[in-house]
Structure 1
Amino acid sequence: MNVAEKTSKGLSRVYEVTVPAADLDKRLSAKIEEIRPQVRLKGFRPGKVPAAHIRKMFGTSIMGDILQELVPQTTQELLEERKLRPANQPNVDVKSDAEEVLKEGKDFTFEVSLEVMPDFETIDAKTLKIEKPVAPVADEQVEEALGELAQQTRSYESRKKGAKAQEGDKLVIDFVGKIDGEAFQGGSAEDAELVLGSGQFIPGFEDQLVGAKAGDEVEVKVTFPEDYQAKQLAGKEAVFETTVKDVQAPAETRIDDDLAKNFGLSDLGALKEALKGRFETEHKQASRLKVKRQILDQLDEAHKEIDLPSGMVEQEFAQIWAQVEEAKKKGELEPEDQDKSDDELKTEYRAIAERRVRLGLVLAEMGRVARVEVSQEELARAVNQEASRFPGQERQVVDYFQKNPQALQSLRAPIYEEKVIDYILELADVTEKQVDRETLFEEEDEEAAEKKAAKKSSKKAAAKKAPAKKKAEASGDEPAKKPAKKSAAKKEEDEAPAKSEAKKPAKKAPAKKASAKKD
C-alpha cells in the first residue's frame, strides 16, 4: 500500500491510503482459487467452475468482501508503521467503489482521519509533596455509635389501656386509603408498625395519630406530595381510615453484652472493637480521597501545556452536559448553578471535561512508563463484586461484562487508576498531619471539589484547561436491581445508582470497519 500524509495540524492527522489495482487483482485471484473447490453452479461439475466464470458472476461481491477486510487491516498496519497512538477511533472514508475497482482496474483509495495522543514527559513523582490527613478514632465517636445502635434495636412495650400515644411511641395499625371515597391499590395494610416522629409515612400522617389510644378509629387526611413516586397519587388528597390496635412505649435499652449479642458478637468489648475498626476504615478512605485530590491537583498544575485531543474533550463534555441537562429537567441542578446561563455552565463544565481528559492522559502515561497493569484476577474480582450487588442476577451480570468490552473497561479503569496512585505515593514526599474527624470529612463531595479545582486552575493559567478524574460508566442493558414495593402511605425515597469513577488509560483503538461502497 501507498500512504500519503494529507494533513498534520496539532494532534490531527489525515492519511490517504492507496492499494494498487495489481495488488487487488492478486488478492481477488487468490480468493477465487480458495473458494473454487466449494463453488456449485448448474452446468458445471462440483469444484470445476472456471475461475474466469466465478470472477464474472461473483467478482464484485468477492471484491467487496476483500475491501471490507482490507480497510481495517491496512489501517492497523498504518498505525503500526507510523508508530501512531490514536486518541480516538480512527475515522475511515472510502473513496473507491468495489465495482469500479473490479471492472475498470482502478486503485483502491481511502482516507484515515484521527487524533493522536500527545507526546509529553510527566513530572517526576518524587517531586510531589503530599500532606496526608489522619484522624484517630475517638472514644466519644464509638460511644455515640453505640447509642445509635441501641436506639435502632430498642424494644417496645404496650402502654396501659387507655394511654395516649406520644411522640416516639410505636403504633400497630390497620389502614385503608381512599381517594374520592374509593380505595386505591397499595393504600391498605394490616398490623403495620409505625414509630411516631420517624418520618416513615407521608407528611401529616403521623401527626394526626399523636394522642390516639388503642382501639381508636381515626380518619387521617393527607395530601400526597406533588413529586410522589406513584404518579397517579401525586398531589391527590386522601383519607386513611385507620384503626389503632396497640400503643407501645419504647423500653429502656442497655448498652451491655446483650446488645453486642444482638449483632452476633460475644460481648460489649468486641462490639466496640468492631465499631472502631469500621471507623478506622472510613477514616483511611477519607484520607486517601484527600491525598488523591492533592495528587491530581499537582499533576494538573504541572501539565497545563499538554495539547488535548479535541475529540476526547468533546466526548467527555457531551457526557457531562447530558447529565446537567437531565438535572435541569428534574429541577435537581446544584444551587450554585441554578442562576447561571447555559453559556456560563458550559464554560465551567468544559473546564472540568478538559481537566478530566488531561489527568486521564497524565495518569495513563505515568502508568505506562511504570508498567502498571491490571491483572485478569483483579478484573475478575471486580466483576464478581459488581455481580454481588444484584442478588439473584449474578450470572446475568457476569455475562453482561464478558460480552461488553466497554462495560468491562469501566471496571478496569478505576483499578488502573488506583494502582497508578499507589505507585505515585511510593515515590512522593508524604507527611502526615493529625486532624479531627470533621476536618477529615470536609468537602467530601466529588463534583464540588472538582469544580473548585477547575475554576482555580482556569484562573491561574492561559492554558484555560482544568483537571480531574475521568468517569467511566457501563452502557447498554445493564441489569437493574428491582426496587422493593412500598406502601402508598410511605414517603418516596430516591435511590441514586452507583457510578464508577475513573480515568480511561490510553489504549490503541482498532481500525474502524468500513463499507467498500461510497455513501
Structure 2
Amino acid sequence: MQVSVENTSALERRMTIGVPAERIETEVNKRLQQTARRAKVPGFRPGKVPMSVIRQRYEAAARQEALGELIQATFYEAVVEQKLNPAGSPSVEPKVFEKGKDLEYIATFEVFPEFTVSGFEGIAIERLSADVTDADLDNMLDVLRKQNVRYETVEREAQDEDQLNIDFVGTVDGEAFAGGSAQGTQLVLGSGRMIPGFESGLVGAKAGEERVLNVTFPDDYQNLDLAGKAAVFTVTVNSVNAPTLPELNEAFFAQFGIKETGLEGFRAEVRKNMERELRQAIKAKVKNQVMDGLIAANPVDAPKALLSNEVDRLRVQAVQQFGGNIKPEQLPAELFEEQAKRRVVLGLIVAEVVKQFDLKPEEDRVRELVQEMASAYQEPEQVVSWYYQNEQQLNEVRSVVLEEQVVDTVLQKASVTDKSVSYEEAVKPAQAPETAAE
C-alpha cells in the first residue's frame, strides 16, 4: 500500500492511498467463494454452481462491497502508519477505480490540532469567599414563604401584590389583535408580567369594576407588529385576592420533606442547603474564570467536523428545552456557532491539560461529589448507591471531577486574589459561558 500526505491547511490533510490490484482481487474472490456456497441458481444444486456463473451474476456486487470495505480498512491503516489523528470522517474521491488496476483514492479530512497548553501564570482569578449569616437565612425563609403564598378574596380596592382575576379586550387603532384578549386571567399586580401601565392602572380597582387602560407597547416588544404602538385595554375585574404568607409551622416544613424538627431544625436544614449552594456558586465562578483564561492564553483551531457535531448537539438541546413542533435541523446553525466553538475549543484544551499533567479522576473526590449531590435528597444513601450501580452516571461524575482537577492545576500557577463578599453577591449568577464540551 502506498500513502502520501499533503497539508492543505492548518488542520486539513489530503491523503492519497494506493491499494494493489492483487489485494482487491483477493477480497473479491473471497466474497464470490462465500456466495457460491449459499447461492441458489436455477438448474444447479446449492454449492455446485460453477464459478463462471457466480462471477457473471455476482461479481459486480462483490467488487463494490470489497472496494467499500477496503477503503475503510486502508484509510485506517494509513492514518495509523502516518501517525495522524482524524477529527471526523474523510471525504473520499476515487482516482483509479477500474477492474484489474491498483485502487487509488484521495481521502480529505481534518486532524485534531497539536498544541501544548501554556500561559497559566498570566491567568488572573478572583476567588470569592462568603458566609451564610442569620440575616441571609431570614431572607431565604421570607423567599420560601413568598413562593408558597396563598390568596384570599377580599372586598377592598386592589393593591400591589394582590392577585386579580380579570377579563380584558385590547385594541390598536380600534381593531382587536391576536393575543390581546383573555378571560379569567390571574394577574399579580407589580409582577411586571404585563406591559408598562397595565398593572399600575388596576391599582385601586374593586371587584366588578371596569377600567379602560391607555398604554403603549415598548419599542422592543417581541411582536414587531405591536412594538411602539398605542393600545386600549378594557379590563373587567372579577375578583381581588390578597396574599397570605404561610406560617413557619410543621405543615410548612413538611412541604420541604422536613418533619418534626421544629423551627430550629428547619432553619438548620435551609442553612445547610444555602451553604451547599454557596460552595457550588463560588466553585463555578472560579471555574469560568479559569476556562476563560485558558482560551485567551491558548488560541486553538477547531476542526469543522467537531464544530458541526456540537452545533447539532446544541440544536437538539434547544428543542428539548423549549419544545415546539420543530426539528433540530430546522434551527439555523449560526445561532449556535459561537457557543459550539467555545465548547469544542475548551474540550480540546481541557483534554490536553489532562494529557500533559497525566491527570486521572481521584476516586475520593468522585465519592465526595456523589455524596454532595445526594445530600440534596431525602434518602441520600439510596442516591449514592444508585450512582455506584450505574457506571455511565458515575463516569459523568468522574468527568466533572477531572475538570475540577484541571482547574486546580491551573490555580496552582495562576495569579489568584481572594475577596470576601456577601452571600447574595457570591451566589448571584455570573455571565458564565459554557465550559468544556462533554
Contact 1:176–1:183 under 8 Å retained in 2: no
Change (3 A) 1:159 1:263: same
Contact 2:310–2:344 under 8 Å retained in 1: no
- The match for 1:363 is 350
Equivalences, count: 382
Q: Within 5 Å, which residues of 2 pair with 1:14-413? A: 14-97=14-97, 100-101=98-99, 105-122=100-117, 132-160=127-155, 163-173=156-166, 175=167, 177=169, 187-190=181-184, 192-218=185-211, 237=231, 239-240=233-234, 242-244=236-238, 246-251=239-244, 260=253, 263-265=256-258, 266-297=261-292, 299-300=294-295, 303=298, 308-309=300-301, 311-312=303-304, 315=307, 359-368=346-355, 370=358, 372=360
Contact 1:413–1:502 under 8 Å retained in 2: no
Contact 2:361–2:398 under 8 Å retained in 1: no
Change (3 A) 1:248 1:64: closer
Which amino acid in the other structure matches residue 95 of structure 1?
K
Which amino acid in the other structure matches residue 273 of structure 1?
A
RMSD, matched Cα: 4.9
Which of the pair has the greater relative contact order for Cα pairs under 8 Å at 6+ separation? 1
Distance 1:140 1:50 in 2: 93
The share of aligned pairs that are identical, in percent, is: 29
Say whether residues 1:444 and 2:438 are aligned partners: no
Q: Give 1:107 deviation, angstroms.
A: 0.9
Q: Give 1:181 deviation, angstroms.
A: 8.3
Distance 1:212 1:128 in 2: 58
Q: Deviations over 1:127-169 (max 9, x none)?
A: 9997643211122211122223333444455445xx3333333
Contact 1:169–1:250 under 8 Å retained in 2: yes
Q: Give 1:220 deviation, angstroms.
A: 5.4
Q: TM-score, normalised by structure 1?
A: 0.58
Q: Deviations over 1:73-96 (max 9, x none)?
A: 111111223332223433322223
Q: Give 1:229 deviation, angstroms.
A: 7.1
Q: Deviations over 1:455-503 (max 9, x none)?
A: xxxxxxxxxxxxxxxx6xxxxxxxxxxxxxxxxxxxxxxxxxxxxx423
Say whether residues 1:433 and 2:418 are aligned partners: yes
Q: Give 1:40 deviation, angstroms.
A: 2.7
Distance 1:211 1:128 in 2: 56
Change (3 A) 1:131 1:44: same
Change (3 A) 1:253 1:14: closer
- The match for 2:436 is 502
Unaligned runs of 5+ in 1: 324-345, 386-407, 448-470, 472-500, 505-519
- The match for 2:380 is none
Q: TM-score, normalised by structure 2?
A: 0.68
Q: Give 1:122 deviation, angstroms.
A: 4.7
Change (3 A) 1:16 1:184: closer
Which amino acid in the other structure matches residue 296 of structure 1?
M
Change (3 A) 1:224 1:50: farther
Q: Secondary structure at the match of 2:66?
A: helix
Distance 1:135 1:30 in 2: 72
Distance 1:142 1:293 in 2: 27
Contact 1:209–1:218 under 8 Å retained in 2: yes
Contact 1:256–1:267 under 8 Å retained in 2: yes
- The match for 2:405 is 422
Distance 1:204 1:225 in 2: 11
Which amino acid in the other structure matches residue 27 of structure 1?
E
